Amino acid sequence: MKTSQETLYEKDSQYVWHHLKPHQKGENPLVIDSASGAWITDIEGNGYLDGMSGLWCVNAGYGRTEMVEAATEQLHKMPFHPLSNSHVPAIELSEKLNQWLKGDYRIFFSNSGSEANETAFKIARQYHHQKGEPGRYKFISRYRAYHGNTLGALAATGQAQRKYRYEPLAPGFVHVHAPDEYRVPSGQSFEEWSLECARMMEETVQWERPETVAGVIMEPIITGGGVLIPHPSYVKKVEEICKKYGLLLINDEVICGFGRTGENFGYQNYGIEPDIVTMAKGITSGYLPLAATAVKQELYEPFKGEEESDHFRQVNTFGGNPAACKLAVKNLEIMERENLVERSKKLGARIREDIRPLEDHPNVGNIRQKGLLFGIELVKDKETKEPVSAETIGNVIAECKSRGLIIGKNADTVAGYSNTVTLAPPLNMTDEDAERIVRTLKEVFRGE
């Protein structure tokens, strides 16, 4: 007789197409059954501390009955209406997002980070069109950044291995290098190298001819590409370049948003004011699909014209689903009530201090952190900085898992740098959870 778990594993391996990685021979996948706080439990009853918040999503933690109730109530009352009209939850959420953005933005809703970015590209192109510059269609983005799985967002992505089998992608995306504090050319400070990268970005805009460039898209901190914390001067400089050449600055806050980096949004660490902000994941803490493209009010002006051809001709059936919006409002209210953004900042800094001793390990090359977002870069040799093998990274992840901690890793890049383990736990995890993360990492690196 098969156990019910064995039957589930069998059916899973027969029917479910897992994202990123196929079923591994001789290894049962993690089939998650329930979750509470920062913990997930699989169908065998094993508990794991979810150090990745699912996929950088569950910022307010699992098991929030209030959020479930808010969505359920809305589903009973009015489950669906498109935003070609409007509804109360979308209005409420748009106002709340403006408070979090600390600016004056108009919000276009969709369902995923990829769609939010596609929407941003289309709005930027049409904006320039209607301002009399139809030639501006290109976007500058950065190697190592991820912006989504659809053909435009993937074109913006700077991770070759995610792209090359699906080409041709949308044309018009030009990539430049993003500065990496751990890999600075010798003789330069990180700030000097960062400004050099910004200078090369400016030169790229000039080579492409500014009148063909619509905007720059960047995650304030490159997350899945390796948790690259920028020098503040670089971020400011990119904003300056955008202003100088009339480009729209699009900030992809799909991971950095909603407290992950210790501010409401990642860009608020750097004192810039993006023209367009895209967001998803943490907006509902992952409980329901929802995404948003927030656009500075003045950019909306040209879309208000009398002619239909002036309007933004995009419809998104499920974008801004009323239950998802209602749930998102509750999610943000909980984060405000429990000061989770502040907690991210303080707890993140504390964990960073507590894991400092890991720096003495011969394979720990660099630890990067902002709020509750961490990257620990592993190298074979601290002198050469040669990345550890995929096997070593795999072992670290497996060792953590066997001790009940889920961590992640960065997407490998063309240069072979899939050597950073990542950590992005729920912002409401307990102090004991945080201590457990620190203890587990220390045990794993000491080989205990």
Nearer to ligand PMP, 252 or 433 (CB): 252
Quote the tokens at residue 378.
Answer: 């592993």
**Cis preceding linkage at 230, omega within 30:** no
Among 114, 251, 261, 418, binds ligand PMP (CB under 6 A): 114
> Whole-number minimum distance, CB 150 to ligand PMP, in Å?
7
Among 89, 224, 282, 408, binds ligand PMP (CB under 6 A): 224
> Whole-number minimum distance, CB 149 to ligand PMP, in Å?
6
Binding window for ligand PMP (CB under 6 A); candidates: 87-95, 208-216, 251-259, 313-321: 251-259
Q: At what angle do helices 232-245 and 190-208 cross, to 10 degrees?
A: 20
Nearer to ligand PMP, 379 or 406 (CB): 406
Structural element, H or E, at residue 352: helix 340-354
Dihedral, 437, 442, 444, 448 alpha carbons, nearest 10: -120
Task: Name the nearest CA neighbour of 21 among 386, 408, 339.
Answer: 408
Among 242, 254, 323, 364, binds ligand PMP (CB under 6 A): 254
Q: How far from 362 is each of 343, 349, 378, CA to CA, in Å?
A: 31, 23, 9
Kindly tell me the sign of the dihedral angle through the C-alpha atoms of 339, 345, 351, 353. Answer: negative
Nearer to ligand PMP, 117 or 369 (CB): 117
Binding window for ligand PMP (CB under 6 A); candidates: 159-167, 252-260, 262-270, 391-399: 252-260
**Would you count residue 370 as binding ligand PMP (CB under 6 A)?**
no
Task: Name the nearest CA neighbour of 150 among 185, 115, 196.
Answer: 115
Of residues 387-416, which lie at the interface with ligand PMP (CB under 6 A)? none
Structural element, H or E, at residue 441: helix 431-446
Binding window for ligand PMP (CB under 6 A); candidates: 126-134, 217-225, 240-248, 366-374: 217-225
Residue recorded with tokens 């699009």 = 250
Q: How far from 243 is each of 176, 215, 248, 336, CA to CA, in Å?
A: 18, 10, 8, 33
Binding window for ligand PMP (CB under 6 A); candidates: 81-89, 250-258, 260-268, 396-404: 250-258
**What are the residues whose beta carbons fall under 8 Å from the beta carbon of 324, sequence distance 6 or more?**
71, 284, 288, 289, 290
Nearer to ligand PMP, 268 or 440 (CB): 268
Question: Looking at beta carbons, which residue is closest to ligand PMP?
Answer: 113
Nearer to ligand PMP, 278 or 428 (CB): 278
Of residues 327-346, which lie at the interface with ligand PMP (CB under 6 A)? none
> Whole-number minimum distance, CB 372 to ligand PMP, in Å?
15
Q: How far from 353 is each of 20, 223, 348, CA to CA, in Å?
A: 33, 21, 9
Q: Tell me the H-state helices in 230-321.
A: 232-245, 297-300
Beta strands in 235-274 (DSSP E): 248-252
Of residues 136-155, which lie at the interface with ligand PMP (CB under 6 A)? 146-149
Nearer to ligand PMP, 284 or 440 (CB): 284
182: left (phi over 0), alpha (psi -120 to 50) or beta: alpha
3-state SS, residue 223: coil
**Would you count residue 219 as binding ligand PMP (CB under 6 A)?**
yes
3-state SS, residue 279: strand
Give the total of residues touching ligand PMP (CB under 6 A): 15
User: Rounded CA gap, 285 and 255, in Å?
Assistant: 11
**Would you count residue 113 as binding ligand PMP (CB under 6 A)?**
yes
**Would you count residue 255 as binding ligand PMP (CB under 6 A)?**
yes
> Whole-number minimum distance, CB 328 to ligand PMP, in Å?
14
Nearer to ligand PMP, 319 or 365 (CB): 319
**Would you count residue 424 as binding ligand PMP (CB under 6 A)?**
no
Do residues 153 and 252 lie in contact, with contact meaning Cβ atoms separated by under 8 Å? no
**Would you count residue 112 as binding ligand PMP (CB under 6 A)?**
yes
> Whole-number minimum distance, CB 308 to ligand PMP, in Å?
29
Mask of contacts with ligand PMP, 279-308, x by CB under 6 A?
A: -x----------------------------
User: Rounded CA gap, 290 and 273, in Å?
Assistant: 23
Among 74, 223, 419, 428, binds ligand PMP (CB under 6 A): 223
**Would you count residue 54 as binding ligand PMP (CB under 6 A)?**
no
- List contacts with ligand PMP (CB under 6 A): 112-114, 117, 146-149, 219, 223-224, 252, 254-255, 280
